[in-house]
Amino acid sequence: MLLRNKRRLLSFVLTVVLFTAVYIIAKDVKLNIISKSIIREPTKESSTVQQLSEMLSLNHKDVEAKDNEKIKSKKEEVKKEVKEDKKNGKNWESIMPSMPDLDAKQELGRASWKYFHTLLARFPDEPTPEERAKLETFVTLYAELYPCGECSYHFQKMLKKYPVQTSSRTAAAMWGCHVHNIVNEFLKKDVYDCSTILEDYDCGCGDLEKST
C-alpha cells in the first residue's frame, strides 16, 4: 500500500515537472516569434510616427542655407533699389554697414521701436519752435545712424515720403505709430492700434515741470 502511494506521488510530481517544462518552452517560442514579427513588420502606427519624426527633424544646414538665400535676395533687392534711386537722382546714403544676422536685426528692431515710441510719447504737448526743430533733426539723424544699413536706407526713404510731425505730443506719437505700421505691413505683421499709442508707451515717469 505504501509503495503504491509512493509510486503515485512520484508519477504526479513527474507529470507536474513535465507540464511546467513544456509550458515554459512553448511560452519562450511564442515570445520569440512575436518579437521577431514586431521587429520585421512594424505596425502602421510606428511607421507613421517614424515618418512624422523624419518630416519634423529639419536639417540645420538646409535651414541655414534658406536663411542665407533670403538674406542674399534681400541684399539684391536693396542694391536694385539703390541703383534705381540713383538713376532717378535720389541719393540715399547709409552710413552703417549691412546687418545680415536676422536674429540680431529683429532684436535691435524691438529695442529701437520701444525707445522711439517712448520718446515720442513724452514729447511736449505744446513744443516751442526750437523743440520742434530738435525733434526733426533727431529723427533724421536717428534714421541716418541706425545700426542696420539696409534698414537705415529704407527709413530715410520713408521720412522723405512721410515727414516727422512735431506740432504736439499726440501728432508726433501718431506719426511714429503710422510709420511703424507701414513697416509692419511690409513685413506682413499685424497692424498696431494707434489709438492707444500714448497709453501703451507711458513709462509711468509722470509729467513733472521742466527745470528752468
Class level of CATH domain 96-212? mainly alpha
Quote the CA–CA distance of 23 and 164 in Å, as a whole number: 90
pLDDT of the residue at 203: 80
- Is 194:204 a contact under the CB 8 Å cutoff? no
Tell me: the pLDDT tens digits for 99-157?
999 999 999 999 999 999 999 999 999 999 999 999 999 999 999 999 999 999 999 99
Which residues, other chains included, contact 28 with Cβ-Cβ below 8 Å and sequence gap of 6+? none
pLDDT of the residue at 172: 98
- Grid cell, residue 70, equals 533670403
Report domain extents, the chain. Answer: 2-56, 96-212
Q: Which residue has the cell 527709413?
A: 155
Q: What is the mean pLDDT of each run of 10 residues along the chain (212 residues)?
A: 56 58 51 44 46 44 54 59 60 81 95 97 97 98 95 94 97 97 92 95 73 48
pLDDT of the residue at 19: 57
